[in-house]
Amino acid sequence: MSSLQPVTATDLPGIPRFRTGKVRDVYDLGDTLLIVATDRISAFDYVLGSGIPDKGRVLTQLSAFWFDRLRDIVPNHLITVDVARFPQRLQPYADLLRGRSMLVRRTQPLAIECVARGYLSGSGWKDYQASGAVCGVALPAGLRESDRLPAPIFTPATKAESGHDINITEAEAAARLGSADLLARLRELTLALYTRAAAHAERCGIILADTKFEFGLTDDGTLLLIDEALTPDSSRFWPADQYEPGRPQPSFDKQFVRDYLEAIGWNKQPPVPALPEDVVARTRAKYLEAYERLTGQPLPEDGRA
């Protein structure tokens, strides 16, 4: 069941931990991995002292929704989010895992982030102001912040273990992958996924400004969509009825958190502040609203997508 007590750490005795990210704890099950989305929240490259209740459940269930909707474009790594179908050795931890975890196929992740942009925002806007281009993609002169682009663009980035991902050109991305053909395939898939998702979001009154995808290869060379898909943590979702180019847009993510940290003058260095209850509650409400608007359903309590 949902609880207003956030899950900010996991511990599964007897299950080897594969890695710990800013939000996700990953466990090694041999041929498969268990990805557990906690309620941790990061801002300005630091995990904060407060969690956002239900955030991990939103990330997991929304990813499952999109994986199912987009599987005809590219297969993905998801096996199940149904804890009852998890291996027997995970059943003692079912209450913790329910709704916030995915059993997935193991892959070799590719060395780049695949970003699609339909609007000019974030690091893309900064790049454009400096050079008139984003990741080497030249754009028309005179665009404003948050303007819709003439057509969606593919803008790869590095995967940073800490700090921000760095925008790179397609030539640099191909060099990292060791294959121009593989990069071309990733560009095609990234733009197809973005186009499908953006059209769905638009019908829900939401603008999908940009998003990032990760891909991995199985042992037999099959290309899979991995990690998460089209969540408020990996995408910019804007309410369409408030869209006004020429400025930053309100968004369905951790905007309240960033605004609060800026307002208190945090120097973005440790110690990391905790969040007041109203910022936590408003941020939680935004994540839940994004889920409900995009899926047309309330967040499921039983963890079944």
Per domain, the residue ranges of the chain are 1-106, 109-242
Q: How far is CA 68 from CA 29, 76, 79, 221, in A?
A: 23, 9, 11, 21
Per-residue pLDDT 10s for the chain (305 aa) are 345 899 999 999 999 999 999 999 999 999 999 999 999 999 988 999 899 999 999 999 999 999 999 999 999 999 999 999 999 999 999 999 999 999 999 999 999 999 999 999 999 999 999 999 999 999 999 999 999 999 999 999 998 766 678 999 999 999 999 999 999 999 999 999 999 999 999 999 999 999 999 999 999 999 999 999 999 999 999 999 999 999 999 999 888 898 999 999 999 999 999 999 999 999 999 999 999 999 999 998 755 44
Nearest by Cα to 252 from 243, 262, 261: 243
Separation of alpha carbons 65 and 79, rounded Å: 13
Give per-residue pLDDT as tens, 21-43: 999 999 999 999 999 999 999 99
Separation of alpha carbons 251 and 131, rounded Å: 26
> Kind of pairing, strands 133-134 and 112-119?
unpaired
Give per-residue pLDDT as tens, 139-198: 999 999 999 999 999 999 998 766 678 999 999 999 999 999 999 999 999 999 999 999
> Kind of pairing, strands 32-37 and 101-105?
antiparallel
Identify whether the C-beta of residue 101 lies closer than 8 Å to the C-beta of residue 35.
yes
Q: Considering Cα of 67, then 68, then 71, then 77, what sign does the dihedral take?
A: positive
pTM given for the model? 0.94
Q: Provide the CATH topology of domain 1-106.
A: Phosphorylase Kinase; domain 1 (3.30.200)
- The CA-based angle 145-146-151, given to 5 degrees, is 115
- Is residue 95 packed enough to be buried (19+ CB in 10 Å), middle (13-18) or exposed (0-12)? exposed
Identify whether the C-beta of residue 41 lies closer than 8 Å to the C-beta of residue 51.
yes
Q: Provide the CATH topology of domain 109-242.
A: D-amino Acid Aminotransferase; Chain A, domain 1 (3.30.470)
